[in-house]
Amino acid sequence: MPRKTNRSVNPSQPKALFDEQQEATFSLLALQAWSPATAMAPQQRNRLYIAGGPGGNSIGPAVHEYIAKSLGLDWTCEFLRMSSIDDVMRLYRAADFAGGLCDELVKILGACNTVYLTADQQLCGSNTDWVGIYDAILARKPDNHPGKIGLVYGAGGASRAAIYALSAKLRCRTIYLVNRDDHEVAEVLRDVHEHGDVYKPQIVHVRKLSEAKELEPPHYIVSTVPDFEAVTAEETQARNILTEFLQRPSPSKGLLLDMCYHPPMTRNLKLAKDSGWSIVQGFTVVACQFRVQWELWTGKAIQTDEVFRLTEKLIRDRDEALPLVRSNGYH
């Protein structure tokens, strides 16, 4: 399958930060073990897979099949309710495989969320989270200048992509990390310092509200947590820190991007908007990732405006149909 690389799509750039984690070792070896000897010709490959579980309400298949038709490709996209990496890899090595995603299996795959075929017919895993964050921020605030302060709210898997986008791409000089669990923060700090890009960010773990009040406010905030009301003391403390930064009087407010898109307007987005901040909704990040994924799979550019509109519509329709359950909001 042909592959075109542009300025924002270069899987070798984030590899040091994302792909060398211990959890990723098996998946990368498995990807490279795929043999092209039994493969069909590129034009005969027509299946895309979203691997995870339990799923079932993903907007991915509908958007991917729409994009395929817009490119004149008779491709289908299927959500796989699988929990075994072995089962997923068997499908990824099938002769008619064209590309795939791994969302719920990200912990097993390291930070690999997109799989594509290289020009020499090898399976390659990449990460598009950071590109989605980076492109979505630049689309909203194209006048970025290095040396600003960023904040990442949450310390789960997506936080690493956020740190990479803010530090290596937007060139934030300092990144605040706010989270309810100190152990998760310690793991993020370990990963970043062991596998970080050449451009090492200065990360400040903000633990208390009193600490936040003494710090310079951030210009960018990336929220990587589900849309839950704070319940525990730790959740409340983290929420209060975020609120302090958002509501602090300032002549120039920054931008908050929320990776959660269920609901489309989250608590954090509402708070930021009411406090005078610019906001980027989660579906924008998703739509940016769709663009990057299709460039990796086909080497072709897609009509982004229509994909943005379709992504937003599907997310809003799903939000109206589904109850607001304790879901991570990333499907």
User: What's the CATH code of the domain at 308?
Assistant: 3.40.50.10860
* Same domain, yes or no: 277 and 209: yes
Better-scored residue on pLDDT, 106 or 282: 282
Does residue 249 lie within any of the structural domains? yes
Range of weakest confidence among 215-229, 260-274, 297-311: 297-311
- The structure tokens listed for 48 are 């895309």
Is 60 exceeded by the pLDDT of residue 3? no
Number of domains in the chain: 2
pLDDT of residue 199: 56
Phi, psi of 90 (to 5 degrees): -65, -40
Say if residue 259's pLDDT is above 60. yes
Q: Residue 173: give the domain boundaries.
A: 130-283
Q: Give CA 74 to chain center in angstroms.
A: 27
Indicate if 273 and 137 belong to the same structural domain: yes
Question: 262 and 288 share a domain?
Answer: no
225 in the same domain as 188 = yes
pLDDT of residue 42: 52
Query: Would you tell me how many other CB atoms lie within 10 Å of the CB of residue 232?
Result: 10
Mind listing the pLDDT tens digit for each residue in 98-137? 766 544 333 333 467 888 887 777 777 788 888 899 999 9
**Which of 88-120 are b and which e, b meaning 16 or more Cβ less than 10 Å from the residue's Cβ?**
bbebbbeeebbbbbbbbbbebbbbbbbbbbeee
Domain-located, residue 17? no
DSSP three-state, residue 223: strand
CA-nearest of 160, 162, 283, 137 to 222 is: 162
Q: How many CA atoms lie within 13 A of 49 on its CB side?
A: 23
- Of 282, 302, 281, give the one whose Cα is nearest residue 63: 302
Residue 326 lies in a domain: no
Query: What is the average pLDDT across 5-9?
Result: 33
* CATH (domain of 189): 3.40.50.720
- Using a 10 angstrom Cβ sphere, with 0-12 exposed, 13-18 middle and 19 or more buried, the burial of residue 315 is buried
Same domain, 119 and 183: no
The pLDDT value given to residue 24: 28
* Mean of per-residue pLDDT scores for the chain: 79
More confident: 294 or 34: 294
Question: Measured at the alpha carbon of residue 27, what is the angle toward residues 25 and 29, in degrees to the nearest 5?
Answer: 70
Q: Which residue has the tokens 């406090």?
A: 275
Residue 12: inside a domain, yes or no? no
Length reported for the chain: 331
Window from 103-112, 259-268, 308-317 with minimum mean pLDDT: 103-112
Q: Looking at the structure, do residues 295 and 278 belong to the same domain, yes or no?
A: no
Q: Are residues 121 and 153 in the same domain?
A: no
- Tell me if 325 is assigned to some domain: no
Residue 9 falls inside a structural domain: no
For residue 39, give every residue at least 6 positions away whose Cβ sits within 8 Å of its Cβ, in sequence order, or none: 45, 95, 121
β partners of residue 204: 176
Identify the domain boundary among 266, 283, 300. Answer: 283
Residue that the structure tokens 């700090």 belong to = 189
| Same domain, yes or no: 147 and 228 | yes
Task: Give the pLDDT of residue 160.
Answer: 87
Residue bearing the bigger pLDDT, 74 or 193: 74
Residues 240, 112 share a domain: no
Residue 142 placed within a domain: yes
Write out pLDDT tens, residues 133-168: 999 999 999 988 999 999 999 998 889 889 989 998
Residues 141 and 256 in one domain: yes
Same domain, 273 and 303: no
Q: Are both 201 and 288 inside the same structural domain?
A: no
In a domain, 272, yes or no: yes
